Structure 1
């Protein structure tokens, strides 16, 4: 997990938190007159101490009439505190605060809640946003910005509110930080909607429970990245100017079931944008996806993206990467992730489940410059790693075991490098190089106990190199080369397996086996 960057509001927050270690009487004695409030502090709920003291830096929602008893509607009181708290810290102490429409947090504001603070939605499309509902004037990244939200339980309350809703809605802003929040029981939409935003950090948050009573939101994400596309995308506030997301990191977060609802379909995902409006500089790092029912991480139209160190356990699919059919994606690194126990995803009738790590099967657009390295894929009811319609990819150092399909597949992936992978006990081939994956290199891999072949070159494909691989087990063949392959060079492979048919089946034309290769 990355360390949250230093931020002026963050420093103020730490000073405020430190004040909580001082008794109220001692603080009053030590604080100059300009740092004191005239109103007597309200008492916290019975049994709970108040960790934050009022002062010029802090606006307490109780001073504006918030009750926090779980019954009274605290919307107006909290909004009044947020209005006053621009450029300051707004404190929401322990208690349960019903809110009946979206709260607006303005630029330069820090919102601080405790682990026993519950903000509960009773109506409205979101609990909190960085805009005013219906105000469509913000453009680009120039809306309400420099916002910090830390702590609290943000209850979207799917058990009692029949409308779809978000926990947080951020649009047309920059420099937004969300730390240590818990969002539970979202219906239909997202724990966090990021729409046309720049420089956002979502750190150490928990997203628990998702409800889909209509059965038509099987693609919803806990953290959703979208572009400002108007109807059909984000319509709460901000101009439909087609901006995407830039410099966004989601790290150290958890998505899973709550006490009342199953996990989200996805932990993190995005919609594609029109040509020229890709999402750029996105990072999904060191998160835990528990029983996500669809793709735990799904990347549409990403440029310069990192998916690293995530754990994806149970549920449907793992990581899917691909353009949305408008523009190419690329410069993406998928490394150090673990994926196990996935049941597969059936995205379209008649199409087989995809791979645990799947690239480019969405449509005919292409991906460029991709690295899939050092991942562990175990026990999945689909293929392990598949790369489609991708130019210049490296698939290296992965461990793939006990998958129902091929371990690693290339399809229309010219100049791909597949090296130093360990593949064992697959329901198909260990490694497949298929149509138009011209000049691919398959080298120094270990393939054990494939059902079909250790390495298969198939379809219309030219000048594939297969060398230095170790193939063991009782597959039909160690290496199988189809009739559509031309100029395959296979040499120096260790094929001492107990093959049911033979070590090599070469039906291709112009194959080379001389260790020296082409003179």
Structure 2
């Protein structure tokens, strides 16, 4: 197939559209072509920069010819300009390098297909380790195209894009397809990046050991074990990254990515900051669809996670605390569960602090919907000042909301239906927490449990209907195992009235001291009695201690 001639009117139309689209993406004005332009050329100009058509550098786009050299020649000539890839299929046998100030524009029917190499495109040169911090090739836009990593046909691992040590980069309206073991877009030591309206379809893991691969990965420059293609190993992390309006799911040949977005590396001293994952849709992700590893100042909002393994996981790396995180308005449903470590208890649809002993601080989990998941709804471990509020949890396989080693937690306004164990649990060091205004219905065991060496928890104004659908459950409100100075105030408990159900409205075991319970509505609370109190020094007067 011969290249289309430079005087072909169809080509001129493509050039005109490409220039306009790229200029809009870059926020620049498009000048009209000069009246004196040669009749066989179409020098459509954006801020004085010519559009570079890859066919002018010998690219054929016929799906057979190796176009690597021609595409690289166009990218070299197009530094600081617009490089246009017309419709066609362009085989690429090693990583292409894109440079500062370049906009790469492709159409919906442009396919860039990897036949070898570690990635299709990067913002550096393979083996050049001089770039540091966020000062490498920057101010780059990649718009449109199908970037086919060609898993299966190419057995070596590879990504679509590997970017490192740069800033001000935008990926928009492109499709990444059939990644082999690595990532769709890999960001290492990158600042101010936007990944917008992109699709990530298909992931291959023939060896079965890359369950942690993300479609969009945010990692740090840690050398060959993290990103060894180019750039210095200076341990810089990512800052100001936003992933929005994207899709992760299966392709025609392979299942979905393990993760839509996240990290599996945390730098000591250069924490990932200002990361946002917004309004994305993930279907069939086999591991955590979104994983915040060593992030601070982060927002995960309005994502839909459907039909996969896990939902959202938050965890510091162990070298520094994570925190200042908002998880709001996400929908998670039909999740089959994930268990990262042998012998560890099951995780949750939204799971915090289970990775190691480092702590998280200042966390809000609010307004999420969790439905039909086989594990717990929301679990918060080793977190200071957590708020878990106004979530809807329906039919989870374990506890609805759990806080563990999380002092001063606020659990408020949640609606929890048919959890496979307790509705809400506060235990092991979650001192001074407040559990209020929650509605819990048909919990398999306790409605609310305060247990295991926890002090000064307030349980107030909650409603528990039909606790104890599992035979032998002691109570709707349970205080046990050295829980001290618990306050149970103004709660409403009602028994189901048929089948298995909790024996008491309130149960306090003999190891607990100073429990104060008053003002609770326990009419028809349990078949045995309203209260079973074996505790030490319990108080029932309305005023409590004076």
Q: TM-score, normalised by structure 1?
A: 0.91
Conserved 8 A contact 1:126-1:169: yes
Q: For each residue in 1:249-302, what CA deviation from the matched residue of structure 2 results, as whole angstroms up to 9, or x when unmatched?
A: 000000000000000000011133232111000000000010000000011110
Q: For each residue in 1:96-152, what CA deviation from the matched residue of structure 2 results, as whole angstroms up to 9, or x when unmatched?
A: 000110001100000000000000000000000000000000000000000001000
Out of 510, 514, 517, the position equivalent to 2:514 is: 510
SS at match of 2:418: strand
User: CA offset at residue 473 of structure 1?
Assistant: 0.9
Conserved 8 A contact 1:198-1:246: yes
SS at match of 2:337: coil
User: Which residue of the partner structure matches residue 393 of structure 1?
Assistant: 386
SS at match of 2:346: coil
Conserved 8 A contact 1:272-1:278: no
- Tell whether 2:482 aligns with 1:478: no
- Tell whether 2:24 aligns with 1:11: yes
CA distance in structure 1 between the partners assigned to 2:244 and 2:361 by the alignment: 25
SS at match of 2:191: strand
Number of corresponding residues: 492
User: CA offset at residue 483 of structure 1?
Assistant: 2.8
User: Which residue of the partner structure matches residue 406 of structure 1?
Assistant: 399
Q: For each residue in 1:400-435, what CA deviation from the matched residue of structure 2 results, as whole angstroms up to 9, or x when unmatched?
A: 010110000000010000000000101100000010
Out of 181, 194, 198, the position equivalent to 2:187 is: 194
Conserved 8 A contact 2:167-2:190: yes
Q: For each residue in 1:361-398, what CA deviation from the matched residue of structure 2 results, as whole angstroms up to 9, or x when unmatched?
A: 01100000000000000000000000000000000000
SS at match of 1:462: coil
SS at match of 1:138: coil
CA distance in structure 2 between the partners assigned to 1:185 and 1:407 by the alignment: 36
CA distance in structure 1 between the partners assigned to 2:263 and 2:141 by the alignment: 23
Out of 44, 59, 73, the position equivalent to 2:66 is: 73
Conserved 8 A contact 2:446-2:467: no
Distance 1:276 1:413, change over 3 A: same
Alignment RMSD, CA only? 2.1
Out of 201, 224, 235, the position equivalent to 1:231 is: 224
SS at match of 1:450: coil
CA distance in structure 2 between the partners assigned to 1:234 and 1:12 by the alignment: 29
| Structure whose alpha-carbon radius of gyration is higher | 2
CA distance in structure 2 between the partners assigned to 1:290 and 1:37 by the alignment: 51
Out of 175, 180, 191, the position equivalent to 2:173 is: 180
Q: How does 1:99-118 map to 2 (within 5 A)?
A: 99-118=92-111
SS at match of 1:513: strand
Distance 1:186 1:517, change over 3 A: farther
Q: Any unmatched runs of 5+ in structure 2? A: 1-20, 519-541
Q: How does 1:141-152 map to 2 (within 5 A)?
A: 141-152=134-145
Out of 367, 380, 397, the position equivalent to 2:373 is: 380
Out of 318, 337, 354, the position equivalent to 1:325 is: 318
CA distance in structure 1 between the partners assigned to 2:370 and 2:186 by the alignment: 29
Distance 1:37 1:455, change over 3 A: farther
User: Which residue of the partner structure matches residue 50 of structure 2?
Assistant: 57
User: CA offset at residue 78 of structure 1?
Assistant: 0.7
Q: TM-score, normalised by structure 2?
A: 0.87
CA distance in structure 1 between the partners assigned to 2:45 and 2:308 by the alignment: 41
User: Which residue of the partner structure matches residue 146 of structure 2?
Assistant: 153
CA distance in structure 1 between the partners assigned to 2:25 and 2:385 by the alignment: 47
Q: Which segment is superposed worse, 75-84 or 347-356? A: 347-356
SS at match of 2:71: helix
User: CA offset at residue 13 of structure 1?
Assistant: 5.8
